[in-house]
Amino acid sequence: MSASITDPRLDGQALSRIVYDADQIARRVRQLGADLTAAYPEGELLVLGLLKGSFIFLGDLVRQIARPLQVDFLVAASYGDAKTSSGDVRLVYDAGTKLEGKHILLVEDIVDSGRTLTRMMDLLSQRRPRSVEICALLHKRVAAHLSYPVRFVGFEAPNEFLVGYGLDHAEDFRHLPYIASLQ
């Protein structure tokens, strides 16, 4: 089934296939929420989203975590309008919340090259958190530059350019309720 034929939200743009549909995503996010609730039974938890790609996933995820928590964001840039990372990771917006002594859960949309996550984890580790872990919606398992384990993973991702559910190409497709492969 071609999403471009049946989805008016695409405005004629072509997607090759739906990789994970909305129901699959919702079920997995509920399970991740339960896993995170169990993994953090005590202490202050700060769920820190990497914008912009993580915002939909993070919003759904925090509503599934059955414990007190705080939410803040970081913005890092490395893609621009390209389909591959430039390799130059810049911190554009830093979290305003105090990180020291808290459990930090860094939420990312997709683990690809690993450069952005490594840069952000290095930065967060310097701020003396109680712990710092990564939760990614998607993991391509091709991250040659990732120096930290991804403890919580939603789905394995094919080595394709994926869009939807927060993931974009040049700011398009974020609003789609599913994850699809861009032609």
- pLDDT tens, position by position, 40-94: 999 999 999 998 999 999 999 999 999 999 999 998 876 555 445 445 667 776 6
Partner residues linked to 51 by β-bridges = 75
Residue 100 reports pLDDT greater than 90: yes
Tokens, residue 28: 């997995």
Residue 23 within any structural domain of the chain = no
Closest to 136 measured CA to CA, from 78, 68, 49, 74: 49
Q: In whole angstroms, give the CA distance from residue 40 to residue 140.
A: 26
Residue 83 within any structural domain of the chain = no
Residue 104 within any structural domain of the chain = yes
Number of structural domains (the chain) is 1
- Cβ-Cβ contacts under 8 Å for 73 (sequence gap 6 or more): 48, 49, 50, 51, 55, 93, 95
Tokens, residue 94: 């830093």
Residue 21 within any structural domain of the chain = no
For residue 95, give its domain range. Answer: 44-77+88-182
Q: In whole angstroms, give the CA distance from residue 36 to residue 34.
A: 5
Banded model confidence at residue 6, pLDDT cuts 50, 70, 90: low
List, for residues 13-29, the tens digit of each pLDDT value: 778 899 999 999 999 99
Model confidence, pTM: 0.87
Residue 94 within any structural domain of the chain = yes
Residue 175 within any structural domain of the chain = yes
Residue 31 within any structural domain of the chain = no
Q: Which residues are catalytic?
A: 112
More confident residue, 11 or 156: 156
pLDDT for residue 87: 59
Q: In whole angstroms, give the CA distance from residue 106 to residue 174.
A: 20
Residue 148 within any structural domain of the chain = yes
For the domain that residue 51 is a member of, what is the CATH number? 3.40.50.2020
Give me the sign of the Cα torsion angle 95, 99, 102, 104. Answer: positive
User: What are the DSSP E strand ranges found in the chain?
Assistant: 15-20, 45-51, 70-77, 90-93, 103-111, 131-139, 152-156, 162-163, 179-182
